[in-house]
Amino acid sequence: MKLLTHNMLTSHVKGVTKGYPLLIKATEVKMNEVEFNPQFVSRMIPKLEWSALVQAADELGQRQDLPGELVPDYEKNEDFLKKVHRLLLEVEVIEGCLQCPESGREFPISRGIPNMLLSEDEA
Amino acid sequence: ISSSSTDNDATTGDIISVTIGATVPTGFEHTAAEEVKEKIGVDARISKDRGRIYFPITTDKLFQVHLLRSVDNLFVVVEEYDNYQFKESKEETLMELQELASKLPWTNALEVWKLNRTFKKKKGYRKGGNGTKGKPKSEAAGATVADTEQQELPQATSTVENQTEESVPEAESDTQDSVEAAPRAILIKFRVTCNRAGDKHSFSSNEAARDFGGAVQEFFQWKADMTKFDIEVLLNIHNVEVVIGIALTEESLHRRNISHFGPTTLRSTLCYGMLRLCKPQPSDIILDPMCGTGAIPLEGAIEFNSSFYIAGDNYDMAVNRTVNNICHIQKRRADKGSISGLPIDTVRWDLCSLPMRTSSVDIIITDMPFGKRMGSRKKNWDLYPSCLREMARVCRPGSGKAVLLTQDKKCFSKAISRMGGLWRKLHTVWVNVGGLHAGVYLLKRTEAVFGQTPEDVYESREVVNSNILSIHVLPVTE
């Protein structure tokens, strides 16, 4: 699971209103090189929940010097864009789980695939 | 229309101009023509015989045809007749076909065939053969359905010296890239494939292939072989349109990206066609909520790689196969020394309850379950509406799009007609998937915020009906 995907995922357990962002508990993380496309990154940033990305990076110990808030003119800052590219696309959680922040329900991640299926009474 | 240029010099090295024919998934002729324009820079002509396009090319650019992703099979045209006047009787017609063999301008087409084989011998050649499982079948106006026949011809004498005026290509065993013009004892194996459609023909494709093939064999002194042939001659007859060609692709895997198949894996050319239809933009988040083995998002991650793909399914076998297919491609790229990572992720989920933020997705593209191959018609009746609603929720209002393939057109149309507040039909492409007629629906997500359209006010028909007798109006909730 890449952090870009994580940024879009939310808990959908019945009754939960604050199911985002899911907490990440990783037991295995891998790096996977992806070609850098600055236009992709700069256009993606407005679609993200920035604070959720920062939180996820923190949980994985991958934050480095990523700012807590977006810097102005980030579109032209290639260094910054490369850092964001790495976090969004190159860090992969292979084993672990995602946890609903409200209900505590854990969704396992195996082989990089989060299993978000709910049981009948949870849906 | 004559296919080749005036250059009659048979030695390699001279640039010649020919017409290439390509078979594409029926319904996607225009998207294929678009791709040809974009990657080769020429205008393609769409044949009246569905599923075929034609375009000119010079031999110095020939390798480009193997970069086309919307094309199943390629062939070089020997000769084309717009309005072939068939003789009255079968005997005369077949006799004429036989006489045709020695009169056709084979030279340039054979040069192209020769050149094309050198691409396959070069290292790192991509499997260009995106052939369909069977030859394309065309439906005639009237009762007759096209025959697809390959004809076994009587054995010719084994090795014979080249006696004709045409240059003959080297046989399979030749390992050199360049071809020698000096005649030597060689054995070319060939077969003729005839596709015939039309209700006014006095002959069958069987007979045409047999007689035409016999004459070809006689003319070139090649040997007929159904299975281990070097040259495949194509004889395509569609009413009065006759095209003779030489195949440039083999009938190899038409699912180029997929190494781990599932029961309903779509061929890559169809996936590509669907993707082109929705025009992915840089940074688009593209979702396939019923991904199966991941054919569509994987094709997207490779060909439209400035978008991001999330593939999801509820079956564990499906998500596992998807991940296997992704890994397979990444490994292949790594082996070639390229940056291997693809912009794609896989999630296991229930598509009627997607664990995705509202309005977070730009494009939804998927192959919806067909009643016949997977699931059932009755299940679709319940599934389609919930599916479409959930997809509308996650899709970005105003700018969002969906490209949905389904064979259950009735169910789909009914479901979509009740969702006018959320989805608008832009365009429909009628296609053929594994022999079944299906529709690819291009939808636009309306500006309406989810939860506030008239459809959302009434939660279900049952609720509405039970309230008909009471006086108060249903409250407008989220």
What is the CATH classification number for the domain harbouring A36? 2.20.25.10
pLDDT at B377 (0 to 100)? 57
Q: Say which residue, B107 or B150, is predicted with more confidence.
A: B107
Write down the mean pLDDT value for chain B: 80
Total number of domains in chain A: 1
Q: What span, in angstroms and rounded, lies between the C-alpha atoms of B141 and B135?
A: 19
Residue A59 forms part of a structural domain: yes
pLDDT at B28 over 90: yes
Question: Residues B429-445: pLDDT tens digits?
Answer: 999 887 788 999 999 99
- Burial call B440-473: b when 16+ CB within 10 Å, e when fewer: bbbbbbbebebeebebbeeeeeeeeeeeeeeeee
pLDDT at A119 over 80: yes
* Model ipTM value: 0.98
Residue A17 forms part of a structural domain: yes
Q: Say which residue, B93 or B473, is predicted with more confidence.
A: B93
Two structure tokens written together for B198: 């039309």
Residues carrying CATH 3.40.50.150, chain B: 268-474
Q: For residue B391, give the nearest of B315, B286, B478 by alpha carbon.
A: B286
Q: Which positions in chain B touch A10 (Cβ < 8 Å)? A: 355-357
- CB proximity B65 to A under 8 Å: no
Question: Fold for domain B17-255?
Answer: VC0802-like (3.30.2130)
Question: Residues B288-298: pLDDT tens digits?
Answer: 999 999 999 99
pLDDT at B154 over 50: no
Two structure tokens written together for B233: 């001659």
What is the DSSP annotation of chain A? -BHHHHHHB----TT-S---SPEEEEEEEEE--B---HHHHHHHGGGS-HHHHHHHHHHTT--TT--SSPPTTGGG-HHHHHHHHIIIIIEEEEEEEEE-TTT--EEEEETTEEB-PPPTTT-
Q: What span, in angstroms and rounded, lies between the C-alpha atoms of A116 and B379?
A: 22
Question: Residues A89-118: pLDDT tens digits?
Answer: 999 999 999 999 999 999 999 999 999 999
Domain housing A50: 3-114
pLDDT at A42 over 60: yes
Q: Say which residue, B370 or B94, is predicted with more confidence.
A: B94
Average pLDDT rounded to a whole number, residues A69-73? 91
pLDDT at B159 over 80: no
pLDDT at B259 (0 to 100)? 67
- CB proximity B323 to A under 8 Å: yes
Residue A79 forms part of a structural domain: yes
Residue A90 forms part of a structural domain: yes
Q: Say which residue, B153 or B228, is predicted with more confidence.
A: B228
Q: Which residue stretches of B237-294 are H helix?
A: 268-278
Closest to A118 (Cβ–Cβ): which among B310, B347, B353? B353
CB contact under 8 A, A35 and B354: no
Q: What span, in angstroms and rounded, lies between the C-alpha atoms of A116 and B249?
A: 43
Q: Which positions in chain B touch A39 (Cβ < 8 Å)? A: 282-283, 306
Q: Cβ(A11)–Cβ(A122) under 8 Å?
A: no
Residue A121 forms part of a structural domain: no
Q: Which positions in chain B touch A118 (Cβ < 8 Å)? A: 350, 353
- CB proximity B337 to A under 8 Å: no
Two structure tokens written together for A120: 């009948």
Q: Which CATH class is domain B268-474?
A: alpha beta
Question: Residues B218-273: pLDDT tens digits?
Answer: 999 999 998 889 999 999 999 999 999 999 998 654 556 666 666 678 889 999 99
Q: What span, in angstroms and rounded, lies between the C-alpha atoms of B259 and B253?
A: 10
pLDDT at B129 (0 to 100)? 35
pLDDT at B456 (0 to 100)? 62
pLDDT at B453 (0 to 100)? 74
Q: Which positions in chain A touch B289 (Cβ < 8 Å)? A: none
CB contact under 8 A, A10 and B341: no
Peptide bond into A21 cis (omega under 30): yes
Inter-CA distances, B440 with B106, B253, B408, B428, B434, Å: 40, 23, 11, 6, 14
pLDDT at B3 over 60: no
pLDDT at B258 (0 to 100)? 63
Two structure tokens written together for B294: 């991941």
- CB proximity B327 to A under 8 Å: no
- CB proximity A114 to B under 8 Å: yes
Residues carrying CATH 3.30.2130.30, chain B: 17-255
Residue A71 forms part of a structural domain: yes
Taking the CA of residue B369 and the nearest CA in chain A, the distance in Å comes to: 19
pLDDT tier at B167 (50, 70, 90 boundaries)?
Answer: very low
Inter-CA distances, B179 with B113, B174, B221, B249, Å: 12, 9, 19, 20
pLDDT tier at B124 (50, 70, 90 boundaries)?
Answer: very low
Q: Count of CB contacts below 8 A, A vs B?
A: 91
pLDDT at B32 over 50: yes
Q: What span, in angstroms and rounded, lies between the C-alpha atoms of A121 and B237?
A: 61
Average pLDDT rounded to a whole number, residues B121-125? 46
pLDDT at B376 (0 to 100)? 58
Residue A123 forms part of a structural domain: no
According to the per-residue pLDDT averaged within each range, which of A49-58, B85-94, B142-151, B155-164 is highest?
Answer: A49-58
Q: Which positions in chain B touch A33 (Cβ < 8 Å)? A: 339-341
Phi-psi category of residue B375: left, alpha or beta, with phi > 0 → left and psi -120 to 50 → alpha: left
Residue A120 forms part of a structural domain: no
pLDDT at B142 over 60: no
CB contact under 8 A, A112 and B346: yes
Taking the CA of residue B336 and the nearest CA in chain A, the distance in Å comes to: 14
